């Protein structure tokens, strides 16, 4: 056991070092600043996708994550712009707000399964957009713009994170923020999935009836998993709003919900780090195809279809078919 | 012996049809009681009602004097009444040992967050569940397949795994749904021993079964249902000579009752 | 109010047709066809080209649309869904394939027909005016009546034709139907073709009224999902009911609440979620789970 654990820890540290030291160095020396933005996006989207993955893990197809990303974005934006609260406080607030909303949404709809749950969550994505259009606090279709960059985070006079306005490259700041959060998020997910709670979630995925007959409170567990998922969606959305310094009702739409799901799937549903890989491949693939101009979507979707035909069980299914192997 | 389960005038209607009609009987502590009856007699519905997977139309089920009908299934399980399933229902994509470990859920002392953080309770739970699981696997002769994926098990072992899961919940009353279905004689006899082993651990066993030979051999008492109604109750000897029972089975499976 | 009801019936007949195709595909293959709206758009554009640009008769355009969409549907089933369904371990994969196909069709439609809103000449002039209580252009009436004819035709086909009966058997119990000798592959393909055809025909009908543009595929799919959920997934009567209910809600809602902007849809969406919480299987669906 111990050597395996050690190897995993080492692997994780190396991975973190690559992301936090090597990648920024390379970007800086080649002056490819645009890559900061791309990688930041990947990190944030994979946080939201990790949430979707968790709902997959309890056996629910979640096409509603864009709704929580949108809610998270708005919560943070409204707090920062209209109430002048520091971004660093709005970030957890956005996540928690989403988690609370998800409890109320989840109570009725988590009873649904299969495509039924999928369809309702898809509709929920539309609902979120329409609420954003209708409510006065979200400023309707014009959205919230000119969101100031995050200020400094100080605790007892000690500056933990500098004011993003003072950074010579705020993109770099967002990159570090997002990557660190992504690493924390996936570390947490890994821990969760490999703890007893993960096994309980897995038991739900396989057989809810049996799970409840051995005494598992399935509705509670479903809500907890869904709330965590929505929390992650809210966090991702909030940072996105901060980076783009704006949020509109269409910032996160149905297509995003579907993409989150695609990310998970592409990476492989049986593997915790699947969403990270899936997001990376999908986002970079999409970005890279930009040079094909108007054929971008055509080629992209053709590749997706081809991938489904060749690997109907996801990218990582080549070497990680089941749950057991990632233990 | 005290009664652990009291089934009182239990009735369940589906549309105009009475699947279970005014059924009453008691289950005494640590006995093996079988519910038999021809196909469609309402046995499975009765089980679902007892484990509270269905709500009764009228009547009630009491566990140690406390009404359990209408509670959520996991609450009923928490109180000590656990149902295993007619189909070989298990967690297919977990190993056999994992199946049994997870079934210890009710004994866990740590919270979900505790498990996440790896608290002391959580670590102790993990260890004691593991030990208990190994114990149970040994009792049911599953120790040699402990690390197999459950979906790869042969039929007979699956049934044993189902019983192991039930046992792991540390239930007071275990409801076994057709534990001998689809087994040959030898397998049946082995499973009969298993069920007796379960009872010897202090568990009260309530089972629904078709296999008359096994039922006659294993049961302390038998309840006979026909068209949703209880037509007889008694020891194996009494049941075998009950006219209404013979009538109910005549022409359906008269040889299988072993007359 | 009369006006709102008539509008609702007209809208509902279109919606019911869209929902019928979607529910048919779902019932036969347990596939949630994300690309349904795109098939609708494709149908609209084909009618636009044949009728609007080539100037051929509308009926011919409609037939061309139906045939093309049936072929496209059959091809999608045979070459894409069938192999994936056979090899995937989770039902989600068909959903992702459907999403990818939706993207693909979006791209193809955009490349072929551009992003402009396209319209065609009216198929009929004049309007019915009943005392200004009901005002309805004749072409809308014609299209509404046509759709109702198609719905009736579809029901009769499912009820009495041999393929129709086979498909119903398949929808009810795949395994049993297979044992009874129903050729599952063949009828899945026919079903998919039929579903795609229905979506395309509605697109062709509606292009004469509202025109068509490449961006509406997604929203149409979402509406179709809603109708199917209202009525109960996989149930023909449910799809028709769902279509008419949604059409009616939209039209009545827009009639009374138009001054509040998009609030109608918000109310519809929200009430759908509440409804499903109470009755997950929809109006006419079978309980499941």
Average pLDDT over residues C37-64: 93
Among the partner residues A209, A215, A323, nearest to B78 by beta-carbon distance: A215
User: Could you give the angle at the alpha carbon of A218 between the alpha carbons of A214 and A222, nearest 5°?
Assistant: 150
Give tens-digit pLDDT for B68-82.
988 888 899 888 898
* pLDDT at residue number C105: 95
Cα dist from A64 to A138, A282, B215, whole Å:
20, 19, 51
High-pLDDT (> 90) share of chain C, %:
42
Does the pLDDT of residue B254 top 70, yes or no? Answer: no
Among the partner residues A133, A269, A305, nearest to C101 by beta-carbon distance: A305
Burial of B66: CB neighbours in 10 Å, binned 0-12, 13-18, 19+: exposed
How many residues in chain C? 289
HSE (side-chain half, CA atoms, 13 Å) at C52: 20
Cα dist from C222 to B81, C3, C22, C42, C99, whole Å:
44, 26, 11, 17, 12
CA atoms of A29 and A35, how far apart (whole Å): 12
* pLDDT at residue number B258: 44
Does the pLDDT of residue C19 top 90, yes or no? Answer: yes
Below-50 pLDDT ranges, chain A: 1, 320-327
* pLDDT at residue number A236: 95
- Pairing type for strands B66-67 and B229-234 reads unpaired
Domain spanning B1-80+173-193+204-259: CATH superfamily? P-loop containing nucleotide triphosphate hydrolases (3.40.50.300)
CA atoms of A43 and A180, how far apart (whole Å): 9
Beta carbons within 10 angstroms of residue A80's beta carbon: 24
SS3 of residue A153 by DSSP = strand
SS3 of residue C130 by DSSP = strand
The whole-angstrom distance between C102's CA and the closest CA on chain A is 8
CA atoms of A301 and A296, how far apart (whole Å): 9
The pTM for the full model equals 0.86
Does the pLDDT of residue C264 top 70, yes or no? Answer: yes
Average pLDDT over residues B84-110: 81
CA atoms of B183 and B163, how far apart (whole Å): 15
Give tens-digit pLDDT for C117-165.
888 888 777 777 777 777 888 888 899 999 999 999 999 999 899 989 8
The ipTM assigned to this model is 0.85
SS3 of residue A236 by DSSP = helix
High-pLDDT (> 70) share of chain B, %:
94
- Interface check for A298 against chain C (CB to CB < 8 A): the answer is yes
* pLDDT at residue number B250: 60
* pLDDT at residue number C108: 94
A110: left (phi over 0), alpha (psi -120 to 50) or beta: alpha
CA atoms of C203 and C61, how far apart (whole Å): 11
C90 and A294 in contact by Cβ < 8 A?
no
CA atoms of B174 and B29, how far apart (whole Å): 11
Question: How far is C-alpha A2 from the geometric centre of its chain's CA atoms?
Answer: 31
* pLDDT at residue number C246: 92
Range(s) within chain B of domains with CATH label 3.40.50.300: 1-80+173-193+204-259
Name chain B's partners: 3 or more CB pairs within 8 A: A
CB A214 within 8 A of CB B83: no
Q: Mapped to the 3 state alphabet, what secondary structure does A181-218 carry? A: HHHHHHHHHHHHHHCHHHHHHHHHHHCHHHHHHCCCCH
CA atoms of B178 and B208, how far apart (whole Å): 5
CA atoms of A59 and A62, how far apart (whole Å): 9
Closest residue in A to C280 (Cα) is A112
- Where is mean pLDDT largest: A305-319, B212-226, C257-271? B212-226
Give tens-digit pLDDT for A20-38.
888 888 888 888 888 888 8
CA atoms of A211 and A218, how far apart (whole Å): 7
* pLDDT at residue number A183: 94
**DSSP H helices in chain B:** 43-50, 73-79, 96-102, 112-117, 120-139, 155-168, 185-200, 212-218, 236-240, 243-249
A308 and C222 in contact by Cβ < 8 A?
no
* pLDDT at residue number C58: 92
Q: Which of B16-20, B122-126, B200-204, B254-258 is predicted least confidently?
A: B254-258
Among the partner residues B85, B92, B102, nearest to A199 by beta-carbon distance: B102
- Which A positions 182-221 lie with beta carbon below 8 A of chain B? 191-192, 195-197, 199-200, 202-203, 206-207, 209-210, 212-219, 221
Confidence grade of residue B87 (pLDDT, cut at 50, 70, 90): low
SS3 of residue A317 by DSSP = helix
CA atoms of C74 and C65, how far apart (whole Å): 14
Q: Which residue has the higher pLDDT, C13 or B241?
A: C13
Does the pLDDT of residue B18 top 60, yes or no? Answer: yes
**DSSP H helices in chain A:** 2-17, 23-30, 34-57, 65-83, 87-109, 114-134, 170-194, 196-206, 208-213, 218-244, 254-267, 274-288, 296-310
* pLDDT at residue number B243: 83
Q: Which residue has the higher pLDDT, B221 or C270?
A: B221
Sign of CA dihedral C177, C183, C185, C186: negative
Which residues on chain A are in Cβ contact (under 8 Å) with B125? 196
8-state DSSP, C287: P
User: Could you give the angle at the alpha carbon of B122 between the alpha carbons of B120 and B127, nearest 5°?
Assistant: 100
């Amino acid at each position: 056991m111990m050597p395996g654990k050690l190897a995993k820890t080492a692997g994780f540290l190396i991975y973190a070092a690559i992301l936090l030291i090597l990648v920024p160095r390379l970007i800086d020396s080649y002056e490819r600043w645009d890559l900061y933005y791309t990688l930041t996006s990947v990190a944030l989207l994979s946080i939201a996708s990790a949430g979707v993955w968790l709902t997959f893990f309890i056996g629910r197809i979640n096409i509603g994550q864009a709704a929580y990303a949108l809610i998270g974005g708005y919560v943070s934006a409204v707090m920062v712009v209209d109430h002048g609260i520091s971004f660093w406080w709005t970030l957890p607030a956005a996540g928690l707000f989403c988690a609370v909303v998800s409890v109320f949404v989840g109570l009725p709809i988590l009873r649904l399964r299969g495509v039924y749950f999928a369809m309702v969550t898809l509709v929920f994505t539309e609902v979120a957009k329409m609420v954003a259009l209708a409510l006065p606090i979200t400023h309707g279709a014009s959205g919230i713009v000119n969101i100031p960059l995050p200020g400094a985070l100080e605790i007892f006079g000690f500056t933990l994170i500098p004011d993003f306005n003072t950074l010579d490259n705020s993109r770099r700041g967002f990159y570090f923020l997002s990557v660190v959060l992504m690493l924390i998020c996936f570390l947490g997910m890994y821990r969760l999935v490999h703890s007893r709670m993960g096994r309980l979630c897995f038991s739900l995925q396989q057989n809810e009836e049996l799970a409840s007959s051995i005494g598992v409170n399935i509705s509670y567990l479903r809500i907890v998993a869904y709330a965590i998922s929505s929390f992650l969606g809210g966090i991702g959305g909030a940072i996105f709003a901060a980076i783009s310094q704006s949020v509109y009702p269409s910032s996160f739409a149905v297509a995003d919900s579907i993409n989150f799901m695609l990310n998970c799937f592409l990476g492989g549903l049986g593997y915790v780090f699947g969403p990270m890989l899936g997001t990376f491949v999908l986002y970079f693939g999409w970005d890279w195809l930009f040079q094909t101009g108007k054929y971008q979507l055509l080629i992209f979707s053709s590749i997706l279809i081809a991938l489904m035909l060749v690997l109907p069980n996801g990218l990582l299914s080549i070497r990680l078919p089941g749950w057991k192997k990632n233990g | 012996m005290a009664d652990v389960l009291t089934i009182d005038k239990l009735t369940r209607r589906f549309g105009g049809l009475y699947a279970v009609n005014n059924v009453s009987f008691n289950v005494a502590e640590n006995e093996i009681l079988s519910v038999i009856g021809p196909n469609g007699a309402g046995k499975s519905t009765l089980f679902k009602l007892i484990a509270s997977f269905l709500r009764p139309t009228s009547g009630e089920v009491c566990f140690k004097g406390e009404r359990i009908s209408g509670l959520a299934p996991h609450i009923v399980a928490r109180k000590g009444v656990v149902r295993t399933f007619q189909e070989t229902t298990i967690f297919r994509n977990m190993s056999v040992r994992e199946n049994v470990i997870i079934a210890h859920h009710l004994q866990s002392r740590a919270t979900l967050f505790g498990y996440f953080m790896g608290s002391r309770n959580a670590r102790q739970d993990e260890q004691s569940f593991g030990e208990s699981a190994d114990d149970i696997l040994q009792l049911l002769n599953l120790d040699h397949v402990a690390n197999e994926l459950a979906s790869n098990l042969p039929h007979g072992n699956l049934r044993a795994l189902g019983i192991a899961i039930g046992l792991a919940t540390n239930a007071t009353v275990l409801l076994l749904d057709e534990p001998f279905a689809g087994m040959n004689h030898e397998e049946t006899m082995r499973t009969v021993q298993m069920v007796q082993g379960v009872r010897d651990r202090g568990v009260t066993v309530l089972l629904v079964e078709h296999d008359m030979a096994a039922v006659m051999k294993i049961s302390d008492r038998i309840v006979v249902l026909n068209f949703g109604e209880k037509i007889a109750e008694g020891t194996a000897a009494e049941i075998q000579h009950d006219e209404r029972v013979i009538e109910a089975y005549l022409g359906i499976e008269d040889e299988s009752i072993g007359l | 109010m009369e006006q709102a009801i008539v509008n609702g019936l007209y809208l509902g007949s279109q919606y019911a047709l869209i929902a019928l195709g979607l529910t048919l595909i779902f019932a036969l293959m347990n596939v949630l066809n994300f690309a349904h709206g795109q098939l609708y758009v494709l149908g609209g554009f084909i009618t636009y080209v044949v009728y609007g640009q080539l100037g051929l008769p509308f009926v011919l355009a409609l037939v061309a649309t139906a045939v093309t969409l049936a072929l496209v549907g059959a091809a999608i089933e045979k070459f894409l869904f069938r192999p994936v369904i056979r090899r995937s371990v989770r039902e989600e994969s068909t959903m992702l394939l459907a999403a990818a196909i939706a993207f693909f069709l979006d791209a193809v439609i955009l490349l072929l027909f551009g992003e402009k809103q396209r319209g065609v000449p009216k198929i009929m002039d004049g309007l019915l005016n009943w005392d200004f209580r009901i005002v309805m252009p004749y072409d809308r009436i014609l299209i509404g009546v046509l759709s109702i004819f198609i719905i009736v035709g579809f029901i009769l086909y499912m009820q009495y034709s041999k393929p129709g009966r086979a498909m119903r058997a398949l929808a009810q119990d795949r395994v049993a139907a297979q044992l009874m000798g129903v050729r599952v592959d063949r009828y899945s393909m026919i079903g998919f073709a039929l579903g795609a055809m229905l979506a395309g025909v509605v697109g062709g009908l509606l292009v004469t009224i509202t025109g068509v543009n490449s961006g509406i595929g997604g929203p149409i799919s979402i509406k179709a999902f809603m109708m199917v959920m209202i009525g109960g997934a996989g149930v023909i009567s449910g799809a028709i009911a769902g279509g008419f209910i949604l059409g009616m809600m939209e039209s009545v809602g827009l009639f009374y609440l138009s001054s509040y902007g998009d609030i109608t849809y918000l109310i519809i969406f929200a009430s759908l979620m509440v409804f499903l919480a109470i009755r997950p299987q929809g109006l006419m669906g079978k309980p499941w789970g």
